[in-house]
Amino acid sequence: MNSLDSDKLIDGKAAAAKVITEVAAEVTALKAEGFEPALAVVLVGNDPASHVYVRNKVLRAEQAGIHSLVFRMAADSPVEAVLEVIAGLNADPKVHGILVQLPLPAHIDEQLVLQAIDPAKDVDGFHSDNVGGLSQGRPVLTPCTPAGCMRLLRDRLGELSGKHAVVVGRSNIVGKPMAALLLAADCTVTVLHSRSREPQALSRQADILIAAVGRPALIDASWIKPGAMVIDVGINRIEEHGRTRLVGDVDFASVLPLASAITPVPGGVGPMTIAMLMQNTVTAACQQRNQAASEPAKESACLSTC
């Protein structure tokens, strides 16, 4: 890779570290007022990847100064037991953010569990109240991966208004909320999916391309308009020469020469997801604090950061 190509790389690790530094400053100001944001994680079962993700979230919370609690439950826990834990966290005024690590064991209804979380504490942004609010353009807790993508876009491009953004994928976790955020930023938005006709031709119209379909190296140079900014959300594990490695949804080698900027996999969008989770936790904490205040809101860290 030459120096010109390396300038195109979007360093998600550096961007995430900046977000964590900003969040830590907010948390420090809140603690100076005697208020400590807290994040609770519910982990059901023994999925190795889930345990790694939770460990990384706890580590980032510590770096940001956020108090974290992890509730580990057996894989055979009944759904009623999970709902009971969530109800207790909803009622605890010292807990400001709640997330349930996915996936859940097969016998547990995922939507039932996610809907049980208080929307004001739903730092993953998956509750229908937050999903609906996002589509209406209301200020709500937003899914962390799309929020991280928006941060990367704005850091690189500044004003997004009028740009044509193409989102490849229509999942509830990334594709749909990503499209809503881009619309809110006054982009023209096209969403491509498995039934789209001539997807490459549509994709070549994009100033911004978001790949979030979960198919390794699907998007090659034939999908890219020269000068487009490419955000690769995909994380796919493939076996190659007896080894497992991570690749995105974008064929990085063929797309790099055409793109004006591109996120690598790993090291691109991934670190931003956890960073934005920490930002959501502090935002939720501030909103709950202000709502609970019985006197007129005074100048505080919450008012300046939320």
Average pLDDT over residues 119-134: 97
State the sign of the Cα–Cα–Cα–Cα dihedral 106, 107, 110, 111: positive
pLDDT bin (cut points 50, 70, 90) of residue 302 is low
pLDDT of res. 5 = 76
**Which pTM was predicted?**
0.92
Confirm whether 249 is a catalytic residue.
no
Neighbours of 91 (CB within 10 A): 9
Give me the catalytic one of 57, 121, 163, 176: 57
Handedness of CA 290, 128, 180, 147 (dihedral sign): positive
Name the residue among 113, 55, 111, 10 with its Cα closest to residue 274.
55
In this predicted structure, what is the pLDDT of residue 23? Answer: 98
Asked if residue 164 has pLDDT above 90, the reply is yes
Query: Is 57 a residue of the active site?
Result: yes
- Of the candidates 8, 122, 124, 232, the residue annotated as catalytic is 124
**Where do the CATH 3.40.50.720 domains begin and end in the chain?**
144-270
Contact 80, 43 (CB under 8 A): no
Q: Which CATH class for the 33-118 domain? A: alpha beta
H-state helical runs in 65-143: 79-91, 110-116, 128-135
The CATH number of the domain covering residues in 144-270? 3.40.50.720
Every domain range in the chain assigned CATH 3.40.50.10860:
33-118
